[in-house]
């Protein structure tokens, strides 16, 4: 197990943990789709950049593979078997975006295993903060369907494990990927013990995540969707996070905070049209870290999207530095029109 430590954690805390595994580099959709944007270079660039900065003071651990029974906490057995079988015969395309290769099943087991091991470590208080840098990502995967580059829903499995096996009563999941986390939203649509909040660009893949979709049945109000227009910059994202999402999360009183940390809202990313800077992700991370610190909640993040390799690497570094420090976030004034619209919907369920 790789446990080198560089730098110093925030005062009074154990070192934050960074989970990775070489199997993530073996998942390469280009074997069946030569121009696919989800390449191993994404992780190689992240780790080169982190190594140049002494891993930001984070301790590295290898992510184990997850057993199929734990995957089936949120996925149907048929879905798990289809991915395993397709990988065993060399892979192929599930849809034009979602590709399985010979090594993809094992990589996906390690990606989900990292998220679940991270959650076990956090709930045992061995660490207060952790980050999983593993592929393939997961937030588009539904219970019985792989889509959007995602095979298994890593963060959903981790959240469900926390509830079912680790004594967690409530989990707050924040998704700041530029694409709506439809898989996570659908898996937990009817639930009251998981609050799911997504800030994402509206009108792009996967076409879900409207403001008025707030969950269903007993889960009504426990889904927060905040679509933003193309061209949206840092102030709008931070305003929605600070003035809509975090007040709801505080009222929810979670025991665990998880982030679906996609970095494709960066202005240089080729797959969307938002205009966040590298430092924008650090500011979002500081806001979430502040929420966790207020109540001494464990905080974990799982890598999702981000397809311009150096922008991704720099943004991950900035996020790790922010999550591993005590520096407070920069307050943001409410963006009048967007906050008013969001508050009219979300304020029906949560005090804002």
Q: In angstroms, what CA-CA distances link 254 with 63, 177, 195, 196, 336?
A: 25, 21, 8, 11, 28
Which position has the higher pLDDT, 13 or 179? 179
140 noted as active-site residue: yes
Task: Check pLDDT > 80 for residue 131.
Answer: yes
Task: Check pLDDT > 70 for residue 12.
Answer: no
pTM for this model (two decimals) = 0.96
Average pLDDT of the residues in 136-157: 98
pLDDT at 103: 98
Task: Check pLDDT > 50 for residue 211.
Answer: yes
Of 21, 139, 140, 179, the active-site residue reads 140
Task: Check pLDDT > 90 for residue 3.
Answer: no
Average pLDDT of the residues in 324-328: 96
Average pLDDT of the residues in 345-350: 98
Average pLDDT of the residues in 220-225: 98
Average pLDDT of the residues in 201-227: 98
Average pLDDT of the residues in 174-190: 98
Task: Please report the domains of the chain, with CATH numbers, ordered by start residue.
Answer: 17-346 (3.40.800.20)
Cis preceding-peptide flag for 266 (omega within 30 of 0): no
Task: Check pLDDT > 50 for residue 5.
Answer: no
% of the chain with per-residue pLDDT over 90:
95
Task: Check pLDDT > 80 for residue 13.
Answer: no
Selection from 292, 268, 287, 290 nearest residue 278 by Cα: 268
Query: 163: Cβ–Cβ under 8 A, 6 or more apart, which residues?
Result: 169, 171, 193, 194
pLDDT band at 11 (very low <50, low <70, confident <90, very high): very low
Q: For 229-258, write each residue's pLDDT tens digit.
A: 999 999 999 999 999 999 999 999 999 999
Average pLDDT of the residues in 272-288: 98
pLDDT at 267: 98
The whole-chain average pLDDT of the chain stands at: 96
pLDDT band at 10 (very low <50, low <70, confident <90, very high): very low
Average pLDDT of the residues in 30-56: 97
CB 162 within 8 A of CB 130: no
């Amino acid at each position: 197990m790789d446990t080198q430590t560089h730098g110093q954690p925030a005062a009074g805390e154990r070192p934050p943990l960074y989970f990775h595994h070489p199997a993530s580099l073996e998942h390469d959709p280009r074997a069946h789709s030569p121009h696919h944007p989800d390449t191993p270079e994404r992780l190689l660039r992240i780790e080169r950049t982190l190594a140049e900065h002494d891993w930001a003071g984070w301790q590295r651990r290898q992510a184990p593979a997850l057993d199929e029974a734990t995957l089936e906490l949120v996925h149907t057995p048929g879905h798990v078997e289809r991915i395993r079988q397709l990988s065993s015969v060399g892979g192929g395309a599930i849809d034009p975006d979602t590709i399985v290769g010979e090594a993809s099943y094992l990589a996906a087991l390690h990606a989900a295993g990292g998220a679940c091991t991270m959650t076990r470590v956090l709930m045992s208080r061995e660490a207060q903060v952790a980050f999983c840098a593993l592929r393939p990502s997961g937030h588009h995967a539904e219970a019985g369907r792989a889509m959007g580059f995602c095979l298994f829903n890593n963060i959903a499995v981790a959240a469900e494990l926390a509830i079912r096996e680790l004594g967690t009563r409530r989990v707050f999941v924040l998704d700041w990927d530029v694409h709506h986390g439809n898989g996570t939203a659908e898996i937990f649509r009817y639930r009251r013990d998981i609050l799911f909040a997504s800030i994402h660009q509206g009108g792009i893949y996967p076409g879900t995540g409207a403001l008025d979709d707030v969950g269903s049945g007993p889960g009504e109000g426990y889904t927060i969707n905040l679509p933003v227009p193309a061209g949206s910059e840092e102030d709008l994202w931070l305003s929605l996070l600070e003035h809509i999402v975090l007040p709801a999360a505080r009222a929810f009183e979670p025991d665990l905070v998880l982030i679906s940390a996609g970095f494709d809202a960066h202005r240089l990313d080729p797959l969307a049209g938002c205009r966040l800077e590298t430092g924008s992700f650090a500011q979002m991370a500081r806001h979430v870290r502040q929420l966790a610190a207020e109540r001494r909640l464990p905080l974990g993040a799982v890598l999702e999207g981000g397809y311009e390799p150096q922008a991704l690497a720099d943004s991950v570094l900035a996020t790790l530095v922010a999550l591993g420090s005590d520096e407070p976030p920069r307050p943001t004034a409410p963006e009048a029109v967007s906050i008013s619209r969001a508050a009219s919907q979300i304020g029906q369920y949560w005090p804002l």
